[in-house]
Amino acid sequence: MTMMPTPETMNRTAKLFMDRNEVADYGEALAKLEGFRLAIVCGPEVLASAAHQCALLTLVNAGRRTSLGGICVELPGDGPLLVPLAKAKSLAAAIVAFGGKTGTAAAEIPRIAIGAVGPAAMSPSWQVTWDGWRAGVIPLREGARLQERGNLHLAPILASAVALSEAFQYFDGRPFAGKRAAGISLWSPGSDWRNYDPSEPPLLYLPRCLWMLGLGNLGQAYLWMLGALPFPEGQKPELVLQDFDIISAANDSTSVLSNETLVGFRKTRAMAVWCEDISSKTSIVERRFGTSTRRTDDEPAIALCGFDNALARAALEDAGFDLVVEAGLGGGPAAFMNFALHTFPATRKARDIWKQGSETPRPATATGRAYAGMLEKGAVDACGLAMLASRSVGVPFVSLTAAAFVIAELLRRLHGGIACEVLAGSLLDLASLEAVEQEAGLFPAAFATLN
């Protein structure tokens, strides 16, 4: 029997193949993703380094959502979990908890390497690597790595997101994937990420009080990044979590803190449990953000926005925040690899950017074979078909990339670096990242100091 998706169950990556008219039905779209398999080969560093474990767990957690054929991790042994991203005592147990398996992968499966590993038996294969604020991937055959220093764990997470993007592009038939290096500098966006940058500071400060607007794929990616940062004991971030939505089965394909066991729970409450498990203090707001939202003086002065509603975005400067950092993602088959960031206050008002009636319409490609088949079988009517078509294509590694820049925006300002009013790019071509810099005042909130 042919599988019939609903807006609440549709895998947002499988939708890509339906929108591009590459498959006859939803089941065939899922079958394509089941042909995506990855092996992760780990050097000894993963047993002793929190940064390398952040890279590994990101690959497993985000990778299993698009590579439905499975994630197999080759470990050099087992050891304690050094980061609070999973409720597990050992690294191997954390891998299983996030949907991976341990063992030896078949030789023909594309490989992603973490740490010092031997040469790959086949192509494509990628070396995940980073140093300080810079992160990316290099074809494993080059035998090259950055020095992989520092405790800025955004970098190894970002490197893994780039690796998953390159692997996905390889499976999707992009000619350069697997044959090129790709990466980004979070300290100096647009610079050559493989070159040492003496202006990069060590990580000394971390933001403590934040208001999270929206807990979908972007909001959960923000929380993943924050959970990986090395906050001192007693100085974990205090978070206000605002959302009104409920976790659906579709969220499992895009959102790194969602899974099938959480379907039906409110996002605020599920995310609060995760945050409390890593010792962050939380309060929740279960209503829509809009013109009626007002922060009080004792609430976080910085907001991180992860929703895509134009009317709500237009009100971002009305709630009384001293700083807002928001991100948006492309959604259609031609733009799903795109990401953009805005900060406020800025030279342009949020209301001018997202004027009433200016919301970008969702891609509504409903003319392909898969959609036509649903109509013919009577599985959906025209209204239901329009709802399916309106759902955006989504992949978690784009959300993680955008999230890295959102959190890095706060960290750069804390460390005297540049402030960006706008930053935009695409994982299809990271070298073409564009940024508009601005003057920034003193950091408008409490922060933790690392020893």
Q: What angle do CA 32, 177, 10 make, to 5 degrees?
A: 30
| CA distance readout (Å), 35 to 20, 38, 98 | 18, 10, 19
- CA torsion through residues 168, 216, 387, 69, sign: positive
Confidence (pLDDT) at 363:
47
C-alpha span between 365 and 371 (Å, rounded) = 9
pLDDT in tens, 65-92: 999 999 999 999 999 999 999 999 999 9
C-alpha span between 241 and 69 (Å, rounded) = 34
Q: Is 86 helix (H, G, I), strand (E, B) or coil?
A: coil
Do residues 286 and 251 lie in contact, with contact meaning Cβ atoms separated by under 8 Å?
A: no
Phi, psi angle pair for 235, to nearest 5°: -125, 30
Sequence-ordered list of residues with C-beta below 8 angstroms from that of 67, at least 6 positions apart, any chain: 33, 36, 37, 38, 167, 168, 171
Q: What is the arithmetic mean of pLDDT over 382-405?
A: 88
Confidence (pLDDT) at 421:
97
User: Which domains does the chain show, CATH number per domain?
Assistant: 35-185 (no CATH), 205-449 (3.40.50.720)
Q: What is the arithmetic mean of pLDDT over 404-422?
A: 97
Q: What is the arithmetic mean of pLDDT over 354-358?
A: 68
> Mean pLDDT across the chain, nearest whole number?
93
Q: What is the arithmetic mean of pLDDT over 171-192?
A: 94
Do residues 395 and 336 lie in contact, with contact meaning Cβ atoms separated by under 8 Å?
A: yes
Q: What is the arithmetic mean of pLDDT over 301-318?
A: 94
Confidence (pLDDT) at 233:
87
Which residue has 């950091």 as its token pair? Answer: 443
pLDDT in tens, 1-52: 457 888 899 999 999 999 999 999 999 999 999 999 999 999 999 999 999 9
- Number of residues that this document lists for the chain: 451
Query: Residue 347 burial by CB count (10 A; 0-12/13-18/19+): exposed, middle or buried?
Result: exposed
Task: Reply yes or no on whether the pLDDT at 360 is more than 60.
Answer: no
C-alpha span between 79 and 397 (Å, rounded) = 27
Q: Would you name the residues annotated as active-site residues?
A: 383
Long-range contacts of 200-204 (CB under 8 A, 24+ apart): 200/132, 200/133, 200/134, 201/415, 201/416, 201/417, 202/132, 202/150, 203/150, 203/151, 203/152, 203/230, 203/411, 203/415, 203/450, 204/414, 204/415, 204/449, 204/450
Q: How far is CA 413 from the centre of its chain?
A: 21
Confidence (pLDDT) at 1:
41
Q: What is the arithmetic mean of pLDDT over 186-199?
A: 95
| CA distance readout (Å), 267 to 108, 228, 375 | 39, 20, 32
Q: 3-state SS of 301-344?
A: CEEEECCCCHHHHHCCCCCCCCEEEEEEECCCCCCCCEEEEEEE
